[in-house]
A and B are shown apart, each in its own frame.
Chain A
Amino acid sequence: MSGYGLTGRLKAAPGEQITLIQPLHGWIALNLREIWRYRELLFFFIWRDIKVRYKQTLLGASWAILQPVFTMVVFSVFFGRLAKIPSDGIPYPIFSYAGLLPWTFFAAGLTNGANSLVRDANLIKRVYFPRLITPLSAVVGGLPDLLLAFLVLIAMMIYYGLFPTLASVVWLPISLLLALATALGVGLWLAALHALYRDIRYVVPFLTQFWMYATPVVYPSSLLEDPWRTLYGLNPMVSVVEGFRWSLLGQSEPRVSMVLLSLAIASLLLVSGAYFFRRMEPHFADTL
């Protein structure tokens, strides 16, 4: 602030808002306080995404249920029935569906987050708001879909007679937070890169596909022997899917060391993604 003392003639009365516009170089502070001030806009963006997503579809929001249910049916027939992949003693349909829910949320969040800046390019080129809001709303906006699909899971749990214990169910929100952080972290990296390189559009589908096979969605991680099973936590989605499944169905408790490793990786992704995004932010309006 002292740097401007020499020339600064414009001064604010108490309670008045003075906006300082200056060059941004290198690593820029995240400015989370400003995002808090713009929280209404964040909600408006999420609300818009949800409204628009199903506005012109025939079946509307039931897609949020149909998609994972049909995938579950296909998986059950091919991986469960034909390939006879083990499922830790849980019936394969509910095993794969419980894995698909956090996975679908993550994959959709990552994809929408990666495409968010390009999709909202018209806004970004014409009006100011903290740009972090764009990918943030895209990732968080997947939660209602998850909630809808969750209703089916509850029905399946009743059908199969599988119920969680109180102790394990606390892992549910933690798993989801971990999924959110990972999707946002990777989404931030990809969104910022997407503004500069349009290749990202083609990278994302490959990335999510490979990532799914590296995550125990269709198979249990108990297939792995010990040192590898902990290292498996390098992929935070392993802890997410295992934690989600365990918290509800109660079979094969995840290892603490694996979860800690996942937490560390997810935090690293999130923090580095946010700072990388902020670093690239000054260029967005010019490159989009």
Chain B
Amino acid sequence: MIHTHLDADLAIEVIGLGKKYRIGGLIDRHRTLRDSLSATLRRGAQALRSYNNGEPRPARPHDFIWALRDVSFTVRRGEVLGVIGRNGAGKSTLLKVLTRITVPDEGYARIRGRVGSLLEVGTGFHLELTGRENTYLSGAVLGMRREEIDRKFDEIVEFAGVERFVDTPVKHYSTGMYLRLAFSVAAHLDPEILLVDEVLAVGDAEFQKKCLGKMSDVAGEGRTVLFVSHNMDAVRQLCHSALWLERGHLQQIGPTMGVIQAYLADTAQDRAGMVFPVMNEQYGIGFNDVRLALVPTQSGAHDLHLELEVLARQPIPRVGIGIELLTAMGARVAYLDERLTNFVFDMEAGINRFALECPAIDRLLAAGDYVINLWLTMANIDALVMLDRAVAVTIPGTDLYGTGLYVDVHKHGPVLLPLRVHRLEPALAHK
């Protein structure tokens, strides 16, 4: 805590911020004493051997990666800043440092006022405790004083719509009720600065919408918001400015549209440069190739053909294939995980080939640019390998309403709805 003079303009100041992770620490997080001891012994034996041979001590290998490096920026009070970038670019790490969950290794940040975040929904909840008890516990964990919770208690419960169940243990709540109460507690923290990580936000579409709604409310009240998202449309609509992180470095910061355009142009280029195979070496599995084609049909529509090659170093049972279709701006059109589709296969050693087809896709989707994310899963492992924006596809236009105009993804949304309107005869006299 530092108390100095007045300069009312800034809410957040970040200078030279850096955060590194041990690579080993990331992979096997539950180290045991034995691992550490044997690593130390090995290192010691190595040093001893090279000393005996009169060689210099071997340099320690780079066992760190920088999740954030040299990141500097400021956020004015009342500004809504979007944080964009690929998976693993450091967006979530930045939020973790700013919420003090993790400690930076370089640089510093200063923050004015109370920080709340919607990445902590449900933090501190205990299944055995009642709604009332959890409200107090979670409120205290998020940084509310007891009298503040007393004051806001009725409001919190009402917003969540769980008045009748406040004295029921939350283990008897439905998932929806649980999330609503958890969200309601977080939403009533009334922080000066709100951090939102859309990537981490759990729950259904309605719940995500509630998060976004709360966010624009907070922004409307002139408070400061940092919004991490992959959804460029949401960033464009909500944010005054945007910050693009690339491999832990700040690539660009400025007015939202300019940053988004630069980012999208870069990801398009990046796709062309994707080098196969993309492997998870720990499990010996990955993508060997991905090809996409739009094949014209006799009816004048186009079928989507996606060919996948999965390379497995050894036979691996029950590997799931996940597909997500997004607009080029990053709005989700379809999210098909293996639980929904049961696209689960036993992989043989070598190259396993798959063909995915969607007939007449341009009769389903509006004209425009789309991208596809692909990933592989195994039991209990959600993302073995992730191909972010693996392929792009441009859907040709369809004159659905016979007006000579195509349905366009940017203007009209991604879905072709074959709506018809009929006039009901006769017209009725108005009394």
- A110-130 interface with B by 8 A CB criterion: 122-129
Q: Could you tell me the distance in whole angstroms from the C-beta of A286 to the nearest C-beta in chain B? A: 6
CA of A16 to CA of B77, assembled, Å = 14
Encoded as 1 (CB less than 8 Å from any B CB) or 0, chain A from 1 to 40 comes to 1001001111111101111111110000000000000001
Interface residue A55 (Cβ < 8 Å from any Cβ of B): yes
A197 and B36 within 8 A (CB): yes
Does A199 make an interface contact (CB < 8 A)?
yes
Q: Please indicate the chain B residues that have their CB under 8 angstroms from the CB of A1 in the complex.
A: 2
Within 8 A of A (CB), among B16-47: 21-22, 25, 29-34, 36
Contacts of A127 in B (CB 8 A): 99, 101, 120, 123-124, 141-142
Residues of A within 8 A of B271 (CB): none
Contact between A41 and B21, CB atoms less than 8 A apart:
no
Q: How far is the CB of A285 from chain B (nearest CB, A)?
A: 4
In the bound complex, do residue A8 and residue B104 qualify as a contact, i.e. CB atoms below 8 Å apart? no
What separation, in Å, do the CA atoms of A44 and B145 have in the docked complex?
11
- Asked if B281 is an interface residue, CB under 8 A from chain A, the answer is no
Contact B32 A18 (CB under 8 A): no
Within 8 A of A (CB), among B378-397: none
Interface residues as binary, B43-70 with A (CB distance below 8 Å gives 1, 0 otherwise): 0000000000000000000000000000
In the complex, whether A56 has a CB less than 8 A from a CB of chain B is yes
Instruction: Give B145's nearest chain A residue, CB to CB.
Output: A40
CB-nearest residue of chain A to B124: A123
Q: Is the CB of A10 within 8 A of B126?
A: no
Contact with A along B1-15 (1 / 0, CB 8 A): 111111110111101
Q: Could you tell me if B102 and A286 are in contact, using CB atoms closer than 8 angstroms?
A: yes
Q: Which B213-261 residues have C-beta < 8 A from chain A?
A: none
Q: Nearest Cβ distance between residue B70 and chain A, in whole angstroms?
A: 13
Chain B residue at minimum C-beta to C-beta distance from A28: B103
A255 close to chain B: CB less than 8 A: no
Of B128-136, B302-310, B353-361, which binds chain A? B128-136
A52 lies within 8 A of B124 (CB):
no
Q: How far is the CB of B58 from chain A (nearest CB, A)?
A: 25
Closest B residue to A197 using CB positions: B33
| Cβ of B98 under 8 Å from chain A | yes
Partner-binding segment picked from B83-91, B105-113, B154-162, B293-301: B105-113
Separation of A154 and B249 alpha carbons in the complex (Å): 66
Given contacts A22-B104, A122-B123, contact A197 B110 (CB under 8 A): no
Task: List, in ascending order, chain B residues with CB within 8 A of A285's CB.
Answer: 96, 101-103
Query: Does A165 count as interface, using CB distance less than 8 angstroms?
Result: no
Q: Is B422 an interface residue (CB 8 A)?
A: no
Which of chain A's residues have a CB closer than 8 A to the CB of B25?
Answer: 286-287
A124 contact set on B, CB distance < 8 A: 101
Chain A's closest residue to B193 (CB) is A19
User: Does B431 interact with chain A (Cβ within 8 Å)?
Assistant: no
CB <8 Å contact, A17 and B114: yes
Q: Report B-chain residues with C-beta under 8 Å of the C-beta of A21.
A: 97-98, 100, 103-104, 108-111
Inter-chain contacts of A198 with B (CB < 8 A): 30-32
Interface size on A, residues (CB 8 A): 44
Cα distance, A269 to B300, chains bound together (Å): 80
Given the interface pairs A21-B111, A41-B141, the reply to whether A55 lies near B124 with Cβ below 8 Å is no
> At the interface, yes or no: A84 with Cβ under 8 Å from chain B?
no
Evaluate contact between B29 and A48: CB separation under 8 angstroms. Answer: no
Question: In the complex, which residue of chain B has the Cβ closest to the Cβ of A120?
Answer: B124
Q: Flag whether A196 is at the interface (Cβ < 8 A).
A: yes
Residues in B whose Cβ lies below 8 Å from that of A60: none
**B-chain residues with CB within 8 Å of residue A40 when the two chains form the complex:** 140, 145-146
Q: Does residue B74 face the partner (Cβ distance < 8 Å to A)?
A: yes
Please name all residues of chain B whose beta carbon is closer than 8 Å to the beta carbon of A9 when the two chains form the complex: 7, 10, 13, 74
Shortest distance in angstroms between A5's beta carbon and chain B's nearest beta carbon? Answer: 10
Docked pose: A13 CA to B141 CA in angstroms: 27
B7–A10 touching, CB < 8 Å: yes
Q: Which residues of B contact A144 (CB under 8 A)?
A: none
Inter-chain contact A126/B119, CB cutoff 8 Å: yes
Inter-subunit contact A129/B112 (CB<8 Å): no
Question: Within 8 Å of chain A (Cβ to Cβ): is B187?
Answer: no
**Residue pair A18, B110 in contact (C-beta under 8 Å):** yes
B329 within 8 A of partner (CB): no
Set of chain A residues within 8 Å of B321, measured between Cβ atoms? none
Contact with B along A234-249 (1 / 0, CB 8 A): 0000000000000000
Residue A51 CB within 8 A of the other chain: yes
| Complex CA distance for A40 and B137, rounded to whole angstroms | 10
Q: Is the CB of A19 within 8 A of B13?
A: no
Chain B residues, CB < 8 A from A48: 126, 129, 133, 137
Given the complex of chains A and B, what is the CA–CA distance between A5 and B106 in angstroms? 17
**Shortest beta-carbon distance from A49 to chain B in Å:** 10
Of chain B, the residue at the smallest CB distance from A288 is B29
Given contacts A44-B137, A48-B126, whether A20 and B96 have CB atoms under 8 Å apart is: no
Residues of A within 8 A of B5 (CB): 11-12
Quick one: closest A residue to B146, CB to CB? A40
Whether A52 contacts B32 in the complex (CB less than 8 A), given A18-B3, A20-B110, comes out as no
B108 & A123 in contact (Cβ 8 Å cutoff):
no
Q: Taking the complex as formed, is A173 at the interface, i.e. its CB lies under 8 A from any CB of chain B? A: no
A11 touches B6 (CB 8 A): yes
Residues of A within 8 A of B12 (CB): 10
Q: A7 touches which one: B15, B31, B120 (CB < 8 A)?
A: B15
In the assembled complex, the Cα of A55 lies from the Cα of B171 at a distance in Å of 12
Please give the distance in Å from B259's CB to the nearest CB on chain A.
Answer: 23
Question: Chain A nearest CB: distance from B68 CB in Å?
Answer: 12
Taking CB atoms, residues of chain A closer than 8 Å to B1 are 17-20
Instruction: List residues of chain B with CB within 8 A of the CB of A11.
Output: 4-7
What 11 additional pairs, Cβ within 8 angstroms, besides A125-B101, A197-B36?
A1-B2, A8-B4, A12-B5, A18-B2, A23-B108, A44-B137, A51-B129, A126-B120, A126-B123, A196-B31, A197-B33
Can you list 21 A-B pairs, Cβ within 8 angstroms, ordered by A?
A4-B2, A4-B108, A9-B74, A10-B11, A12-B2, A12-B3, A12-B112, A14-B6, A17-B113, A19-B100, A19-B110, A20-B110, A21-B100, A21-B103, A21-B104, A22-B107, A52-B128, A52-B129, A55-B128, A197-B36, A286-B102
Mark B residues whose CB is within 8 Å of A: 1-8, 10-13, 15, 21-22, 25, 29-34, 36, 74, 96-115, 119-120, 123-124, 126, 128-129, 133, 136-137, 140-143, 145-146, 169
Residue positions of A touching B, CB distance < 8 A: 1, 4, 7-14, 16-24, 40-41, 44, 48, 51-52, 55-56, 122-129, 196-199, 281-282, 285-287
Identify the 5 closest CB pairs spanning chains A and B, nearest first: A128-B100, A11-B7, A22-B108, A282-B103, A10-B13
